[in-house]
Structure 1
Amino acid sequence: MMKKFLVAIVAVLFAAPSFAQYSSGGFSLSESTVYYGARVGLNVGWISGDVDGYGAKAGMNIGGVLGLRVSDATPVFLESGLYFAMQGAKDGKDEINLNYLEIPLLIKYGVQVTDEIALLPYLGPTFGLGIAGKIKPGSTGSFSSDGGFNRPDVGIKFGCGAEYNKLYLETGLKFGVTNILDDDNDAAHNGAWYLNFGVNF
């Protein structure tokens, strides 16, 4: 997993200079615009609730975003996209690996710090669907109808991004609001801290 994460980071870093040389299609606080971009980063997930003894587990995020300015008077943006996100939890050699496709729907507000740097705090829901997962040891499937985990996962994301010459960096938290356990008597929720790097163009 770490090798894949490093390869993805290197790919974005090599792509960033070629993206940054173009002035059209990028993010701007001063005019109405549509922007799109790529994101890759670290996702440190955990499971809270009736899952005893497990701590945080590192994974990765990778995806693409599309944003639209929704007000001419104020720098308010609506951003969505599609991410592949690694969630789960870990206790020594015991691991719960949950991989999701996620679609966030975020409201961002732009704050111009300098002529080239903007801060973008944001808040909004995210909608996930479990696509693969394993419980170790044993490598048994984690998404099942027999005491496993539910595939749908709805959460809330909030954080802050920063943009400089189309390069983008963000950090934030994600808290699940739906019960991911396929069990009527117990409940558990996903959570994560993430750090993403990317480009807007």
Structure 2
Amino acid sequence: MGVMLTNKNWETPYYAHIGDKDKLGNMWSANLHYLNIPIHIGYMMPVSKKISLFMNAGPYWGVGLFGKYTMTSGDKDTTIAENIFKDYLKRFDCGIGWNRY
């Protein structure tokens, strides 16, 4: 269990609101920051006397803190939303996560 600050970014040539490819060649991108709280259960499996594998999995809950939504046309960046969670996305997120080491 813990708290993590996570960055979830994406970039696409598709217009995010409709799903059609932008005919002008623009790139749409978002830079999202979430505070995630994972509740994972782990298991350590010994491979040899000095080596072990560790895996954990479980649910997580997250809240969107801040994020920016931009469009890039050539060399010019245009900000569509300073706070993407206010205008475009839901602030809360949940799911299942896992890690292996």
The TM-score normalised by the length of structure 2 is: 0.71
Q: Could you tell me how far apart the structure 2 residues matched to 1:95 and 1:109 are?
A: 37
Letter in 2 for 1:91: T
1:153 partnered with 2:93: yes
Q: What's the offset of the Cα at 1:150?
A: 1.1
1:90 partnered with 2:8: no
Q: Could you tell me how far apart the structure 2 residues matched to 1:117 and 1:133 are?
A: 40
**Which position in structure 2 is the counterpart of 1:47?**
none
Structure 1: gaps (5+ residues): 1-79, 162-201
Greater helix share, structure number = 1
Letter in 2 for 1:129: V
Question: Is the partner of 2:85 in helix, strand or coil?
Answer: coil
CA RMSD of aligned residues (A): 1.5
Identity %: 30
Question: Is the partner of 1:95 in helix, strand or coil?
Answer: strand
Q: Which structure has more RCO (C-alpha within 8 Å, separation ≥ 6)?
A: 2
The ranges of structure 1 where at least 4 consecutive aligned residues each deviate by more than 3 angstroms after the TM superposition are: none
Q: What's the offset of the Cα at 1:152?
A: 0.8
**Which position in structure 2 is the counterpart of 1:105?**
39
**Which position in structure 2 is the counterpart of 1:122?**
56
Within-5 A mapping of 1:1-201: 80-91=1-12, 93-137=27-71, 138-139=78-79, 140=81, 141-144=83-86, 146=87, 148-161=88-101
Letter in 2 for 1:142: I
Letter in 1 for 2:3: L
Structure 2: gaps (5+ residues): 14-26, 72-77
Deviations 1:47-106 (A, max 9, x none): xxxxxxxxxxxxxxxxxxxxxxxxxxxxxxxxx111111113211532022110111110
